[in-house]
Structure 1
Amino acid sequence: MTVAVAGEVGGEDNNARSEAVPKRESWSRKAEFILSCMGYAIGIGNVWRFPYLCYRNGGGAFLIPYLTMLFVCGLPLFFMEMSLGQFTSCSSLTVFKISPIFKGAGYAVVLINFYLCAYYNVIIAYTLYYMFMSFASEVPWKHCGNWWNTELCKEIGLDSGSHNSLISPSNMTKTPTHEFFHNYILEISEGIEDPGPLVWKLVLCVLLSWFIVFLCISRGVQSVGKVVYFTATFPFLMLFALLIRGVTLPGAVDGILFYITPKWEKLLDFSVWSDAAVQIFYSLGPGWGGLITMASYNKFNNNIQRDSVFVPIMNCGTSIFAGFVVFSVLGFMSHQTGIPVKDVATAGPSLAFVTYPEAIAMMPLAPLWAVLFFFMLYTLGLDSEAGEQFVQVETIIAAVLDEYPRYRKYKLLITAGSCCLLFLLSLSCVTKGGMYVLQLFDWYCANVTVPIVCFCEICIVAWIYGVGKFVRDVEFMIGKVINFYWRIAWLAFTPIALVIILGAILWSSRQVVYENYVYPDWAVAVGWMIAFSSVLFIPIYAAHILWNGKGSFSQRLKRSAIATEDYGPGDSSDFAAWKEHCASTKYYWLRSPIAFRRWLKESKPKDPEEN
């Protein structure tokens, strides 16, 4: 690990303005950036997590804490990371030239992405296999009687008099869909202590998925920008088609009413507000490095403020819309089985791979709707959420190449090597005990670590670098006065919200389980090791940089905390103009925008006809 002190970049000369290294990539069109951001923010979580949270936390009343947390925490973090990336043209590692002592947070982001990409592509592989198996005259999970079914298998239909949950501890019967997923696809073992051999059909699906990811990102943002025209728009078309199909089914209205009917008393429950905060936090994806990386490929003067409002609003709208899609179908399933909607509704993988397929099996033309549904999930998985494969893998690669820019000419080889390494890591999740490993990663990988990274970022920007200077930089970059709200949010609202979110996560931390299986203590200990293995980079790197610095401790601390001499815009002409602007402009964290407007008017070239 190489130390970066004031005036240095770290690793080697990383100056983006140097002509000795290959030029950094950029988006071909503004639309490619917007679609990539939408694909990054809008993903599987919008389909399988938000609708369940909404119904569980008060229906329509949940929108009040949800939108509150959007404006208090989500939007400020989104805008801050986007602005940092676009202003510096740096990825999630070299952007910490703004305060080198915190560069360990950049290494933490890279490691989090390694963990995330390794297990998240396995979930995507599940959707691939379901899609392949749906190309049949009848979906294979519709009936019992297959070789993978057990004596506990029971078909749920109109003759079902049970009002229990489809799968519950008190009801030992299993649906055909449940046994298809666990017994046939996963070939699941008894627990994490029994990993078993590789499940080869899943290995092949994971290999295919990683090969597709490699093809899509092989040329960096140039290829990603073309792929997202399809992967970011197709899910919207499919959600719309599924909604039309869903609302025409019997019982759909009951499901939708169950989803949106407000329960105002829930607003007095603190857990509802913490759920809203966590959902906003993870659906938008700050702290993962993807936002910084994507914005770093923008033109310097792009209006990032407008983009940073548009994408989160679209994300929230899609979440609400997806709820109508999901609950219209769950209402139909409730109507067909006689089981109440509240017992049918589930969250997470159970919704995507058990409950929703069970409902699809009851529809006319079930194979067609199954193919379309799982292909939609696959595109969402490739181009989605905090686990988004294109952007997350690109975040890892961009961090390496920005740190060592002379290796940019080998990007294709580095991309291939990264995908191969991540594929090998994915194999731990496709054994017979792989679902338990996947659940352990998902439980501990980022729940605690990402809020810590975001808290470091917000403290650097608002309190170490200074919110006044940061606002000055953003306004210089986009040529517009930004809203006063951003200053207050970065200084107070968002840091406080992050502390509350982190506290809520730790306070509500419970024993990791998968269905009825409770993880042993040693597995929980491994989970916490995974959680803290990334954030430990923050204090370790800080101690390393202070230990190897020159001068007294206070001098070393000051030099490593302030921005490096080459911090600023990546383009040499923009850098020179920014330096001149900094020298001639005063900044105040509460200053009036009048001074900036006056500077903007005076610096604007005059029309020759006015002379």
Structure 2
Amino acid sequence: MVYESSYDSGRRPFKPDPTRGYWAAPSDFIYTCISLGFRMDLVWMGWLLHQRMGGTIIVYILCMFLFVVPIIVIQSFMGQFSSSGFISTFRMSPIFKGLGYISLFVNLAVLSYYSLFAAVPLLYLFHSLRPTLPWSCEGIEKWFPNSTEAEVKHPCKMLDVVDIKSGMVSSTYIYIGYEVPSVLFFNSIFGGDDVMESYRYNSPFLFSWELLVCTLLSWAIVAGVFYRFYNTELMSKFLRYTIWTSLILLLICVGRFMLLSNDWSYIFSYFMAKPVDIVEGIPSTVLIIVSAFGPGWGSIIALASFNRFRANIMNYSWIICLGQMGIFLAYGIITHIIQGYFKSLTTLYTNGALYLTSGSVIATMSWPNLWSIIFYAMLTLTALITMITCLFSIYQSIFDEFEMLRSRRTEVTLGLIGVLAFLSLYTCSNHGALFFSAMSMDSLFTQTALNLLLLLVVLWVYGRVRFQRDIEFMLGQRFATWKVNMLRFVAPICLCLLLLGAILASFVRHSNSSIVILIAAVFLIVLPWLYLPGYMIYVFLQTTGSFKMRFQRCNRPMDWYPVEIEERQRYEGAMGNMDITHQLNRIADEVVP
């Protein structure tokens, strides 16, 4: 295969951005990638509710060996070797560059609803400043009187009795559900409608002005961060300290929740598991593992592009996965304790996940306002960090690819935030607060498909031998062939199974979704896939030569070399040519014009 410059193919060459910079400290890459585990949409949808770490840790570690850590290594290699984001790095095989644009749409689609995870805890945080928590027993009685006088085993004696007319028979069924005060508080901002059950009763479209203010405030904070920390070094330091702050707050919350229960055997039961727990935990565990790559796709590629060329991504990848496992463990412990708390009061199912039910548990603690402020500040901060990290990778990928936009960074940055803020207004409604999960499942499908195609591009089109050669040149250590073969043959099987699960989950979510979410998913998730064959045709037509020569040039790397001058010279020498912008190895029967 021939290495050549884009000039030889008749296309615009890649021009590195000399102002992109590096991480202020090598460990900042690790911290930022670990923060991708703050992904809250899986927690919101309750994937952590019905599993135990003892039953999931085996599956988690197995998946880490099979495909999670190796894919993180590949993504880190692409970003670090090329010093470019998730669009420009596909000059490794230009015909697949459309994958970079698909990932751009996926990241924008995720951010269009992700502000919900910052706005909801921010709303609870503001109400935590009241002298009496509105979702405490004292506070809730002022605005939500008991619907029954019967004695109910619940801290606030709340009982909801609903008449449901059955379509199968003529009789009337009585459904009795124990309501959680903090969930009732969330419903109250939409006029009392049960948000989590609205799809069953075809509830009208309701809008919350409180949630709107918190959503706009979240985006204003994000805009202020990018305006103030405008370069890589400043953003690196900001993310480092905020991530450390959020991790400390998370550990404090875990410790306080563990002190809530006197039954330590129940807490330790979270770490134990029977064989049936392992089997039941496989679907949710695999979904949680996928969050290692962030809420969108390509963030690790862009974040790794700020590493120095010799950074040891092999060790970094394991540290990242173990750190994210610690975050999932912390979330799981809190959720396990919350569920255990309500199970001790009633055997019936309590509606709502970590976000909504936790408020009532906190209200029973001593100093409830203080712990409510700490807990919801932690949730708000983790959501904002995830949004900022995802946007940071998007911006750098755009500026790496489109040179003309580098001189207008401020306008592009603030303009894109404004567009995303406008798109996220739908999540301020009762339908948007519930049906966003359909787009989350769509993004999971796209993310898995992109990882599958990434293996095709790197290990088959670019080639196993050259991948091993480049990564060994970059790291100065051997990359075993058996690891590559596992990625070529075993990891695709795992990803295909996960892809089938994502398709099923997406279908189920969309069956109960709204038309607005369906239209948004079509434009932001489905239609971008048409860009892949379209860009393939475009690249093929832009390349010069015969049909065979065009096809070969479209698949082999263009301008693929280290950006750092010293490393580039070493790479040129290792490849046996002092000018990498020309062919390193010529094919005898090929004539390049």
Q: TM-score, normalised by structure 2?
A: 0.84
Partner of residue 216 from structure 2, selected from 183, 207, 220? 207
- After TM superposition, the structure 1 = structure 2 runs for residues 569-608 of structure 1, keeping only pairs within 5 Å, are 569-583=562-576
- After TM superposition, the structure 1 = structure 2 runs for residues 40-51 of structure 1, keeping only pairs within 5 Å, are 40-44=36-40
Q: Shift in Å at residue 9 of structure 1? A: 10
2:301 aligned partner: 292
Structure 1 contact 110–396 (Cα < 8 Å) conserved: yes
1:242 aligned partner: 253
1:132 aligned partner: 126
2:584 aligned partner: none
Asked whether 1:367 is paired with 2:360, we answer no
Q: Mind listing any 5+ residue stretches in structure 1 that lack a counterpart?
A: 585-611
Identity %: 22
1:519 aligned partner: 513
- After TM superposition, the structure 1 = structure 2 runs for residues 350-499 of structure 1, keeping only pairs within 5 Å, are 350-383=352-385, 388-444=386-442, 446-499=443-496
- After TM superposition, the structure 1 = structure 2 runs for residues 107-122 of structure 1, keeping only pairs within 5 Å, are 107-122=101-116
**Partner Cα separation in structure 1 for residue 546 and residue 57 of structure 2:** 52
For residues 170-210 of structure 1, what are the alpha-carbon distances to aligned partners after superposition, in whole Å with 9 as ceiling and x for unaligned? 43553322221122168768669887575332222122211
Structure 1 contact 441–530 (Cα < 8 Å) conserved: no
Cα distance 1:142–1:8, how it changes in 2: closer, same or farther (>3 A)?
farther
Q: Shift in Å at residue 554 of structure 1? A: 3.4
1:184 aligned partner: 189
Cα distance 1:287–1:238, how it changes in 2: closer, same or farther (>3 A)?
closer
- After TM superposition, the structure 1 = structure 2 runs for residues 555-570 of structure 1, keeping only pairs within 5 Å, are 555-564=549-558, 566-570=559-563
Cα distance 1:41–1:257, how it changes in 2: closer, same or farther (>3 A)?
closer
Asked whether 1:316 is paired with 2:321, we answer no
For residues 94-115 of structure 1, what are the alpha-carbon distances to aligned partners after superposition, in whole Å with 9 as ceiling and x for unaligned? 0010011111110011111111
**Partner Cα separation in structure 2 for residue 494 and residue 199 of structure 1:** 44
Q: Mind listing any 5+ residue stretches in structure 2 that lack a counterpart?
A: 162-173, 578-593
Q: Shift in Å at residue 266 of structure 1? A: 4.5
1:35 aligned partner: 31
2:588 aligned partner: none
Q: Shift in Å at residue 491 of structure 1? A: 1.7
1:594 aligned partner: none
Cα distance 1:6–1:423, how it changes in 2: closer, same or farther (>3 A)?
same
For residues 363-396 of structure 1, what are the alpha-carbon distances to aligned partners after superposition, in whole Å with 9 as ceiling and x for unaligned? 222111111111111111122xxxx211211122
Asked whether 1:327 is paired with 2:336, we answer yes
Cα distance 1:365–1:398, how it changes in 2: closer, same or farther (>3 A)?
same
1:264 aligned partner: 275
Deviates more, 1:274-283 or 1:191-200: 191-200
Q: Shift in Å at residue 234 of structure 1? A: 2.0
Deviates more, 1:183-192 or 1:388-397: 183-192
What secondary structure is seen at the aligned counterpart in 1 of 2:130? coil
1:597 aligned partner: none
Q: TM-score, normalised by structure 1?
A: 0.81
What secondary structure is seen at the aligned counterpart in 1 of 2:86? coil
For residues 290-318 of structure 1, what are the alpha-carbon distances to aligned partners after superposition, in whole Å with 9 as ceiling and x for unaligned? 10111101111111211111111111133
Cα distance 1:177–1:479, how it changes in 2: closer, same or farther (>3 A)?
same
Q: Shift in Å at residue 540 of structure 1? A: 2.2
Structure 1 contact 22–408 (Cα < 8 Å) conserved: no
For residues 518-573 of structure 1, what are the alpha-carbon distances to aligned partners after superposition, in whole Å with 9 as ceiling and x for unaligned? 33678657645543123232222223323444444433222111111x11211233
Structure 1 contact 86–292 (Cα < 8 Å) conserved: yes
What secondary structure is seen at the aligned counterpart in 1 of 2:444? coil
**Partner Cα separation in structure 1 for residue 257 and residue 517 of structure 2:** 41
Cα distance 1:541–1:148, how it changes in 2: closer, same or farther (>3 A)?
farther
- What residue identity is the alignment partner of 1:183? S
Deviates more, 1:435-444 or 1:286-295: 435-444
Q: Shift in Å at residue 499 of structure 1? A: 1.3
Asked whether 1:14 is paired with 2:8, we answer no
**Partner Cα separation in structure 2 for residue 146 and residue 440 of structure 1:** 36
- After TM superposition, the structure 1 = structure 2 runs for residues 493-512 of structure 1, keeping only pairs within 5 Å, are 493-512=490-509
Q: Shift in Å at residue 278 of structure 1? A: 2.5
Structure 2 contact 115–215 (Cα < 8 Å) conserved: yes
1:229 aligned partner: 240
- What residue identity is the alignment partner of 1:40? L
Cα distance 1:158–1:339, how it changes in 2: closer, same or farther (>3 A)?
farther
What secondary structure is seen at the aligned counterpart in 2 of 1:26? coil
Deviates more, 1:94-103 or 1:410-419: 410-419
Deviates more, 1:432-441 or 1:357-366: 432-441
For residues 433-483 of structure 1, what are the alpha-carbon distances to aligned partners after superposition, in whole Å with 9 as ceiling and x for unaligned? 432453343243x02111111111111110010122112111211222235
**Partner Cα separation in structure 2 for residue 278 and residue 74 of structure 1:** 12
Cα distance 1:377–1:111, how it changes in 2: closer, same or farther (>3 A)?
same
- After TM superposition, the structure 1 = structure 2 runs for residues 48-59 of structure 1, keeping only pairs within 5 Å, are 53=47, 56-57=50-51
What secondary structure is seen at the aligned counterpart in 2 of 1:447? helix
For residues 16-61 of structure 1, what are the alpha-carbon distances to aligned partners after superposition, in whole Å with 9 as ceiling and x for unaligned? 1xxxx65322212213222222222344368667xx6566356512
Partner of residue 527 from structure 2, selected from 486, 510, 533? 533
For residues 346-376 of structure 1, what are the alpha-carbon distances to aligned partners after superposition, in whole Å with 9 as ceiling and x for unaligned? 7xxx323321112112222211111111111
Aligned pair count reads: 554
What secondary structure is seen at the aligned counterpart in 1 of 2:508? coil
**Partner Cα separation in structure 2 for residue 204 and residue 521 of structure 1:** 25
For residues 397-429 of structure 1, what are the alpha-carbon distances to aligned partners after superposition, in whole Å with 9 as ceiling and x for unaligned? 112211123432321222111111111111122
- After TM superposition, the structure 1 = structure 2 runs for residues 90-109 of structure 1, keeping only pairs within 5 Å, are 90-109=84-103
Q: Shift in Å at residue 153 of structure 1? A: 11
Structure 2 contact 9–553 (Cα < 8 Å) conserved: no
Structure 1 contact 251–331 (Cα < 8 Å) conserved: no
**Partner Cα separation in structure 2 for residue 197 and residue 11 of structure 1:** 51
RMSD of aligned alpha carbons: 3.5
